[in-house]
Amino acid sequence: MKDMKLSPCSNALNGILQVPGDKSISHRAVILGSLAKGTTKVTHFLTGEDCLRTINAFKLLGVDIEVDNTTLYIRSNGLSHFKEPIEPIYFGNSGTTARLMLGVLSGLPFFTASYGDASLTSRPMDRVIIPLQQMGTSINGRSNGSYLPLAINGGGLSGVQYTLPVKSAQVKSAILLAGLFAEGTTEVIEPTATRNHSENMLKAFGADISIEDTCISITNQPLTATDVFVPGDISSAAFFMVAAAIVPGSNLTLKNVGLNFTRTGIIDVLTEMGASISISNKQTISGEDFGDITISYKKLQGIVINGDIIPRLIDELPIIALLATQAEGETVIGDAEELRLKETDRIEAVVEGLTNLGAEVQPTKDGMMIEGNSVLVGGSVNSYNDHRIAMMHAIASLITQNEVVIDDVSSVAISYPNFFQDLTSVCS
């Protein structure tokens, strides 16, 4: 795609927006709907490229999935009715598809080959492969089976007890999904809480899952189809929360946004920085909280962001870095070394991009230090084909003195296909 030139927004942002469905919940709805017996209807599904990869994976395994706008109908005969795919499965750019599918494919009693795009091929898979091998699957691949492409001879799994060495919901979920196929009980111990959508949805599909303190246990009981409503994605809403917080005079309401506690670190950060933010119409369906977020412009204070809050806002850190350039004083982000292993090295991409625009940002090994009160001049930036970096730069362009030129914005289709339409709608 050609580069995109964005001019500063001369208006305050105003209005009401419904952001697209949550990416993490959408992936899990396809996976559990495909593993369950019966018809699963999914509403407000995210039709972003990553979630379409998960759909394609199950189509190759023989599941009937109908996509009607943002509604899905998944018709499946359950766990034991999948067929060996005749072609390799392509995971595209999606870490969640890759890691969760490796858990599923490990349980299926046949051969599969899988691969991804250049970014995904450089992201570590050993974090899921090690526990899956302990459960008994045979996985081979590049660099001793640590990276895609991978070949799996699945089946014959036994339960394990596994303590997560990384703060990763993808690793936790891969093991729990493999546990659906394993003899005996599978136990995952997570010292730091990560997003718990898999646990919530497994319960809704009738899985034999129990959670006690930091230990999640599951056995191989079959799943039963159920309907799933996908709340708006707080990671997508975060771009508009920050936009409203930094463009003087703005006031935005974001409707039906997911408010699961394991994801609301961005709201805690905005609140601690002094933002004018409120939540209304709170509801809960199948363990997932959601509601409306209203936020308006206010001058904020820099803070320190580290420790257990990091997994609760890991994908929001690029846009939080932009927010911090406009606060009073310094913001320090730490304990976020996982940022280096996302679609691109997000520490380097954020530091380079914001510096190009005129901010003062220093990288650290596990985060960054951001000077507040920056005047953003504008300039050319690189998205590194990372949707969250592209959208962060687009939001930055609202407050720059001159235009921002982003090399390529096609990656927004990964998680937010209508991002630019929504931005235009609240900016005019």
Ligand X SMILES: O=C(O)C1=C[C@@H](OP(=O)(O)O)[C@@H](O)[C@H](O)C1
| Strand duo 367-370 + 361-364: pairing | antiparallel
415 binds, among ligand X, ligand PEP, none (CB under 5 to 8 A by kind): ligand PEP
Angle formed by the axes of helices 95-107 and 169-179, nearest 10°:
20
117 is catalytic: no
Q: Is residue 343 within the footprint of ligand PEP (CB under 6 A)?
A: yes
Q: Is residue 96 within the footprint of ligand PEP (CB under 6 A)?
A: yes
- The H or E element containing residue 259 is none
- Interface with ligand PEP (CB under 6 A), residue from 33, 48, 85, 95: 95
The annotation status of 28 as a binding-site residue, yes or no, is yes
Smallest separation (angstroms) from ligand X to the CB of 338? 6
As a whole number of angstroms, the distance between CA 393 and CA 90 comes to 29
- Interface with ligand X (CB under 6 A), residue from 26, 93, 97, 168: 168
Counting every residue written for the chain, the total comes to 428
388 binds, among ligand PEP, ligand X, none (CB under 5 to 8 A by kind): ligand PEP
Site string for ligand PEP, 100-139 (x = CB under 6 A): ----------------------------------------
Q: Is residue 195 within the footprint of ligand X (CB under 6 A)?
A: yes
As a whole number of angstroms, the distance between CA 174 and CA 101 comes to 7
Smallest separation (angstroms) from ligand PEP to the CB of 410? 15
The annotation status of 24 as a binding-site residue, yes or no, is yes
One-letter amino acid identity for 158? S
The annotation status of 170 as a binding-site residue, yes or no, is yes
- Interface with ligand X (CB under 6 A), residue from 40, 76, 137, 170: 170
| Structure token pair of residue 248 | 């003087």
Gyration radius of the chain over CA positions: 21
Q: What's the gap between Cα 107 and its chain centre? A: 24
Side by side, the strands of the sheet bearing 367-370 are 304-305, 331-333, 367-370, 361-364
- Interface with ligand X (CB under 6 A), residue from 315, 316, 386, 422: 315
168 binds, among ligand PEP, ligand X, none (CB under 5 to 8 A by kind): ligand X
DSSP 361-383: EEEETTEEEE-SSPPP--EEE--
